[in-house]
A = this chain, B = another copy of it.
Amino acid sequence: MGKVRLDVSMSLDGFIAGPDATLEAPLGVNGLDLHDWVFGLKTFRETHGMGEGGLENRDDEIVAESLASTGAVIMGRKMFSGGAGPWEDDPNAAAWWGDEPPFGVSVFVLTHHPRATEHKTGGTTFVFVTDGIESALGQARDAAGDKDVLVAGGADVAQQYLRAGLLDELQVHLAPVFLGGGTRLFDGIAPDSAGLVPERVVAATPSVTHLRYSVRV
């Protein structure tokens, strides 16, 4: 059985999205700065329909490593439909990820509203789960087989899995930026809810520092 991994980019001041998100800018003001390190990488370009080319450096290896080991993804409904904002109350909001999402595996979307499964080009299937995080994890584990289940976000979903003791590993891509406001990744995580053991730190480029922790409950 694979691991259950959280894998997310965070600013030095702890945010995974900036303030004032809109549908056009679902990561909020300056939120894209969190991901500057990834946009030019070969693996990112390939999986996001951006064509050939791109950097093949240590950062790229880390993205490729995560992708190769991921057999299923879990995300919140807001992440599915484009971040926090006024549209988040529309239970039928379309996938923000377009017709060819970059996942290539089954993606289990936590929601309060039942909705039919959606099959997309490139192997991504969105499955909507209304009966909670443990059910979503069970279904994701079945879909992942021997591979890992990736908890992709947003912050509220990450926190629910962390508090429930269901994460095996955190990988935080620490971006050298301040966002000054927005959505914090870790908010109200009780000290005894997770013991962190550093497993690997990679700082190969000035763009990002990759911090990996195993979680002991």
Q: Which residues of A are at the interface with B, using a C-beta cutoff of 8 A?
A: 12-14, 18, 29-30, 33, 172, 174, 176-181, 184-191, 193-194, 196-198, 201, 203, 206, 209, 211, 213
Choose one: B18, B198, B206; the contact of A176 (CB below 8 Å): B198
Choose one: B177, B181, B196, B211; the contact of A196 (CB below 8 Å): B177
Nearest chain B residue, comparing its CB with the CB of A181: B188
Report the 4 A-B pairs with minimum CB-CB distance, sorted nearest first.
A201-B203, A13-B186, A176-B196, A14-B14
Q: How far is the CB of A62 from chain B (nearest CB, A)?
A: 14
25 contacts between A and B (CB under 8 A): A12-B172, A12-B186, A12-B196, A12-B213, A13-B14, A13-B184, A13-B187, A14-B14, A14-B184, A18-B191, A29-B191, A33-B191, A176-B197, A177-B196, A178-B186, A178-B189, A179-B191, A180-B190, A180-B191, A180-B193, A181-B188, A197-B206, A201-B201, A201-B209, A209-B211
